[in-house]
Amino acid sequence: MASGVAPFVLALLVVLCSGSGVTPIQKVLQMMDELTAKAVEEKEAEIQTFNEFTRFCKDTIRDKGYAIKDGAAALEQLEADISKYDSDSDVLGEELKKLAVILDDASYEKRRAKEAREKSSADYRETHEDLVGSIEELSVGIAKLKNMMSSTSAASFIQEMASSSRMVTSARRALRAFLQQPEPAAFESQSGGVVDMMKDLEDKLVAQKGDLETEELQANHAYSMLAQGLDQQIKKATEEQSEKSSTKKQKESASAAAKGDLADTTTTKAEDEKYAADLTAICEQKSSDFEARQKMRQEELNAIDKAKEIIGGQAVSGSGDKHLPAASLLLQSTSASSALAQLRSSETRRQTQSAVASFLRRSAAKFDSRILSLLSLRVSADPFVKVRKMIKDMITKLVEEAEDEAEHKGFCDEEMSSNKATRDEKTAKVQELNANIEEMTATSQKLSTDMTTLTEEISQIDAAVAKATTIREAEKAKNAVTIADAKQAIDAVGKAIGVLKEFYAKAAEATALVQRGPADDVPETFDKPFTGSGGEGGILGMLDVILSDFQRLEAETAQTEETNKSEHDTFLADSAEDKETKHKANIDKNRAQIKLNHEIKLTKKELARNQEELSAAMEYYDKLKPSCVDAGVSYEDRVAQRKQEIESLKEALKILEDEA
């Protein structure tokens, strides 16, 4: 019989180790064909070996004595092993109950902590939003109150703010309390008590908001630490539970196997004992048993044909071709004046006496005076009496001009100084406001960019979740098909194995070696009962491999499905948390931008007002320049020249009066 088993076992090893394209199922069908031919050959050979049966009887009696002794030792060892396996399994069962309690307590504590954190977080968001709205209203209110000169208007405005639904309760209470104070104390001036009170209230709300944010951060941190600790506890208990559960199953399986071995060994020992006693009688009945063996060989051929029909069907062969050759692959994973010259009016030329005219010409040349030069011409042309009057009038005019110019200079000095101070102040203010606007605009643009980036990231998260969900659904469907096919194949292979085992069990029952004795079962080797032409060791071994392949395929696919589902659920939870964080950041940045844009608008209005005041100052400066800046000759030079002109005119008048 050994010569029949070895070729099939060897063929099995060759198939499993070789790189050929033949599947295990195809190899089994091929082996069944070979087994059929072999069974026919052995059936004929059995006739030739029947004559050696006599020697078999003698050798077997000796071997059975050894087998009975070995069986007694094996029974003792199996009983000790069973006791140890059952004791270990009971201890592990009690430990698993304790772990279940630990897991239930930790999960319950984590669930309650999460619910409390979510409620606290919702309360925080509502309170924080109210504080932000109140601060914004107070900021805008302070700016408006600064421009209010009337206490009545201010009181009405504060009353309106105290009734605002956006204002938090503490702020409304403070505003109403302020309104109940005596009016002189409550409204001292435009920038007095009411504004200070509003600023103080705003500062308190800002501090309260900061404290609230700090408390929320601390609460989040405390929850994270608690959840982390509970997660670690759950993970540890789960791992320990899985390990102990696996060990318990191993112990139970080992105990069951040992109990089976115990029953088999007990039966075998009893049969061996009976065998030894009955061998002599069995040998005498060899002739009739031989005929039974020949009949059984034919039944083996029939059983093999039926098993071939089952294995070659779609349930086994089709599922094997679809899944088993590629089973290992199923687990692989698939962000910028005009200067007006002041000219003196020229006098009408006239002739005057040559002495005065000559004197005036010399004086005009000496002092570079156009008045004296022009007057010298008129002295030469006008009558004598008229010349004297003209010179007197000129002296009077020059004296009046000196007085007017002195008064005008005082006006210019005062107005130019005041105008320069205004221009300097407004220029500096315009520059400061422009810088503030540029800075706030840049910050607003940065917030816009950040919000765009956050929106894109949220879209990417949604896309990733959608894609992962599509992949997950495809994986789930594919795994479901694979598991269903594997179960169908397992059932079919089991039926095929059942057909063959039924025959071999029948063969065992029908032989003298197992039930009545070994004589009719092992005519070829004379050392073991007849179990078929190598099928139980070869075909059944190969079918067991195929069955284990399908069972492993089902188990690994189920494990893969469980792992993929867990990873997908974790990914969805992480994505939802990340999306919520980015969404909240987007809302915060949007609120900050709205507030900043409002400040930009107010600053631009202030800039326009200061720009208008600067332009008005510049226009007034342009009006002052012709008479106060662009005169050409300095005020001191004009005073000195006018004094020299008056002295020259007085001397000329003296000449004329002396002449008279």
> What is the pLDDT at residue 326?
43
Report the candidate in 248, 145, 629, 238 with the shortest Cα–Cα distance to residue 419: 629
Q: Max alpha carbon distance in the chain (Å)?
A: 200
> What is the pLDDT at residue 210?
92
Residue 198 reports pLDDT greater than 70: yes
Domain that includes residue 91, residue range: 64-284
The domain tally of the chain equals 1
Residues 6+ away with beta carbon under 8 Å from 429: 610
237-251, 252-266, 359-373, 555-569, range with the lowest pLDDT: 359-373
- At 154, which CATH number? 1.10.287
Q: Is residue 108 part of a domain?
A: yes
Q: How confident is the model at residue 384 (pLDDT cuts 50, 70, 90)?
A: low
Q: Could you give phi then psi for residue 460, rounded to 5 degrees?
A: -65, -40
Q: Is residue 513 part of a domain?
A: no
Q: Is 532 left (phi over 0), alpha (psi -120 to 50) or beta?
A: left
> What is the pLDDT at residue 22?
59
527 by DSSP, 3-state: which?
Answer: coil
Q: Is residue 484 part of a domain?
A: no
Cβ atoms within 10 Å of 303's Cβ, excluding its own: 21
- Average pLDDT of the chain? 76
For 615-626, how does the pLDDT look when each residue is reduced to its tens digit (9 = 90+)? 988 888 888 777
Contact indicator for 513, 275 with CB cutoff of 8 Å: yes
Residue 347 reports pLDDT greater than 50: no
CA–CA distance, 522 with 323 (Å, rounded to integer): 40
CA–CA distance, 300 with 42 (Å, rounded to integer): 12
For 86-127, how does the pLDDT look when each residue is reduced to its tens digit (9 = 90+)? 898 899 899 889 889 998 998 988 899 899 999 999 999 988
186 by DSSP, 3-state: which?
Answer: helix
> What is the pLDDT at residue 506?
72
CA–CA distance, 535 with 270 (Å, rounded to integer): 27
> Among residues of the chain, what percentage have pLDDT more than 70?
73
> What is the pLDDT at residue 150?
56
Q: Is 400 exposed, middle or buried (0-12, 13-18, 19+ CB in 10 A)?
A: exposed
Give the DSSP H/E element, type plus range, for residue 459: helix 384-509
CA–CA distance, 393 with 391 (Å, rounded to integer): 5
Residue 188 reports pLDDT greater than 90: no
For 547-577, how does the pLDDT look when each residue is reduced to its tens digit (9 = 90+)? 888 888 888 899 988 998 998 899 899 999 9
Q: Is residue 280 part of a domain?
A: yes
Q: Is residue 322 part of a domain?
A: no
Q: Could you give phi then psi for residue 407, rounded to 5 degrees?
A: -65, -40
Report the candidate in 493, 104, 514 with the shortest Cα–Cα distance to residue 311: 493
Q: Is 368 left (phi over 0), alpha (psi -120 to 50) or beta?
A: left
502 vs 84, more confident:
84
Q: Is residue 345 part of a domain?
A: no
Q: Is residue 269 part of a domain?
A: yes
For 397-427, how does the pLDDT look when each residue is reduced to its tens digit (9 = 90+)? 777 777 777 777 777 878 878 888 888 988 9
143-152, 173-182, 321-330, 376-385, range with the lowest pLDDT: 321-330
Q: Is residue 471 part of a domain?
A: no
Locate 453 and state its tokens: 């980036």
> What is the pLDDT at residue 581?
93
Locate 553 and state its tokens: 């395929």
Locate 164 and state its tokens: 């605002």
> What is the pLDDT at residue 538?
63
> What is the pLDDT at residue 6?
39
> What is the pLDDT at residue 42?
77
Residue 19 reports pLDDT greater than 60: no
> What is the pLDDT at residue 306?
76
